[in-house]
A and B are shown apart, each in its own frame.
Chain A
Amino acid sequence: MTKIKPCCDIENETIGDKQSNNRVLLVGNPNTGKSLIFNLLTGYSVKVANFSGVTFQAKSGRFIENGHSHMVYDLPGFYGFSDDTAESASSKRVIYESEDPLIVNVIDINHLDRNLLLTKELLLLNKRMILVLNFVDTVHYDVNALTSRLRSLYNIPVLGVSAIKERGIRGLKQTIIGEFETLEAHTKDDKLMRPSKVAERIEQVAAKLNDEKELRFSEVFLSMLDEEYLKDYSPFANDKFMKVEKEVFKGLNIPVKVKLIDTLYEEIQSDLSGLGLIEDNESKLLFLDRFLLNQYVGLIIFSVLIWLSFKITFDLGGIFTIWIDAGVRILGDVIKASLPNALIASFLVDGLLAGIGFILIFLPQVTILFLIIGIMEQSGYLTRVVYITDRFLTRAGVSGKSIAPLLLGFGCNVPAILSTRIIPDSNEKKVTALSIPFVSCSARFPILVLFGSMVSTAYPDLIVAGAYLLSIAVAVTTIFLLRKFFFRGKQSLMIMELPNLQFPLNNTLFNQVYAQVKDFIKGIGKGVGIGVVILWLLSITSFRGLIGPAALHDPILFKQSLAYSLGQYIQFVFYPMGWDVRIIVALLFGFITKELFIGALGILYGTNLAILSQQFTPVSALSLMLFVLLYVPCLGTVFALKQEVGTRWTLFSMVYSLTLAWVVAFVVYSFGGLILFG
């Protein structure tokens, strides 16, 4: 049975579910639309983006149609069975270990020949299979000739689909159900699929290995392609196999694997010949690459885009913020006026509404941020950013492979840390994982917005953009230092597909943003809600018992509360910065999640932005903002780090980030006034 973990996004899921043995595996090259099709089949919203390696971990979900239930697996993309990357290893494992699955091979019709390599290899596995030609919306020829050619050559169902336009999905569902109904479908003759030009030699290998019974051709072939298979799944002894292989392929001047791949490519050419396909069906937007990829112009464009993003976030988001802020306050007044019981009213208004409402105030900005990140991901621009920023990372000591996880960190650090698994070199992987907590995630964004406006009312967007730059600089410097002192070693080389540029404003984008916003709100409802309630309780009780809701509005009374004592214990640490005890309490709660930091401010200071602002000078606001930016992002990242780099390095990361945050805050507080404001 498979040992893939059900994904965090997917609930109520057990692998090897008895109810349904109908297992559907979505397999294909990176960036071919597998995850989008997965979402369309299951109704989930796993991450879909226009760059390679978005899915780094198999995810499963149920697809139910007409009373039939199927388990669908979205597998990380890979190029072929000789691929020895981490993504491919996890996909291959699911394929090898699934009992009698239906393989849905999703391919990008724009890069047929390359995609068909994996198809050819899959066909040799002799399993039930459907071939999906995705991206039919982007080609201008009639795909019918192509689908019927491949159908007759490969003897499997072949469908043209446009996942993004949701065209052909219904047909795909029907075909999946149909395949499970025809039980004998998976016992196809593998003779059909043997690559003719090397078949004879492979048969020779088989014969030499065992002359008693005829071995499955596919098993021999897979053992040649994939070392992992040979080691763990093949019926042959490793050493003997290698010896026989060497003997049979004696005199070959290229590696056997390359010979096999070349042969398959030759066959693909002949499979496709005479169809008159326009192979080079590149997006019309590709001319933009001249500018986007240029090492000078590209960087300028990137900087302007980033600044513009923050500007839009502030100008547009700010309008909504004012409304929500007012709404929250009116709602609070109404509740207080209509509820006679002061304690219940305080629980609802000073606790829940203040804590949660104060985070919701920033929902417009966070939504715009998700939208902007989404546009960069869907358009294919993100991989251009990888290319133009590679030189900085190369100098710091890691390859471009590390950039995608770092960029993912701008959304949420937790999946970003987990995604470092795609980095093949273990030193580079650890270094990247350890630097991700400094990348400013979307949960820190409201904090930057809030304090950015206190630092400068005229240019809050520039302040926030600067904070982002700082977070990137700290992450890159961390990589550099760790590489230099702890994780030395040769830098790995990279090769990565540059996806087509496409117009990003489509359904997928809006669905993804919607799902993220929903997650954000759900997260507030669950974890943050509990934290908020606890803080409210701590604020209105003392060691001797209940003080009452008045403590939240009366600074003198508040001094008796448990929350105050809690903050007071560690206040000495922050003594030089002179922060109020309430800030320190909020920082403590912010250790759990950063949303809770904002929620805590809402409870302790009330949701009135103006009152909170009075507590700070521009310099003290800046020092606090940077502290929050740099210290441990949340408990989730601590667990993720522990899983990926071990306990020792996780502890290191916590100590390091806390120290760094403190030093930066201290320096800014002490000298910031001199530097910033003359």
Chain B
Amino acid sequence: MLKLENLRLSEAKVGKKYIVNQLQLNESNLILLAQIHITQNVVIEVIDRQKTGLMVIQTGSGRFIIDPEIAKGIFLISD
């Protein structure tokens, strides 16, 4: 079951998969993510997160360490 949810990447849970629906960030971060293929319809799985917020995510194009603040205001559909 897919449902549209308005949540930030920093709220995403470890072990769950999310599909990017729309990203709301400043232009340079948007470009940064687009280049490594984190754009609409891409599936993101959260592998781990630290207390400070830093996350490891898995996408079709690899694993990334990401500061979720970079992806603030991501709107995701969670399954």
Contact = CB atoms under 8 A, between A and B. Distances in A.
Nearest to A298: B48
Given A82-B31, A387-B56, A114 B62 contact: yes
Interface stretch (A67-75, A214-222, A258-266, A344-352): A258-266
Contacts of A383: 65
A399 B65 CA distance: 12
Interface in A76-134: 79-80, 82-84, 110-111, 113-114, 117
A400 B56 CA distance: 13
Most chain A CB within 10 A, of B35, B37, B47, B67, is at: B35
Given A117-B35, A265-B37, A498-B56, A258 B30 contact: yes
B36 interface: yes
A497 B67 contact: no
Given A258-B30, A498-B64, A289 B35 contact: no
B54 A294 contact: no
B63 interface: yes
Contact of A293 (B40, B48, B64): B48
Interface string B40-60: 100000011011101010001
B39 interface: yes
A628 interface: no
B4 interface: no
A494 B35 contact: no
B34 interface: yes
Contact of A493 (B39, B63, B67): B67
Q: How large is the interface on A (under 10, 10 to 19, 20 to 34, 35 or more residues)?
A: 35 or more
Contacts of A114: 36-37, 61-62
A82 B50 contact: no
Given A84-B28, A258-B34, A261-B35, A497 B51 contact: no
Interface string B17-38: 0000000000111111111110
Contacts of A500: 63
Give the residue among A84, A293, A294, A400 with the most B Cβ atoms within 10 A.
A293
B48 A495 contact: no
B50 A494 contact: no
Contacts of B66: 494-496
A289 B56 contact: yes
17 contacts: A79-B36, A83-B35, A114-B62, A255-B30, A261-B31, A262-B34, A262-B39, A262-B40, A265-B39, A386-B65, A390-B65, A391-B50, A493-B70, A494-B65, A495-B33, A496-B64, A496-B65
Interface of B: 27-37, 39-40, 47-48, 50-52, 54, 56, 60-67, 69-70
Interface of A: 79-80, 82-84, 110-111, 113-114, 117, 254-255, 257-258, 261-262, 265, 279-280, 286, 289-290, 293-295, 383, 386-388, 390-391, 394-395, 399-400, 493-500
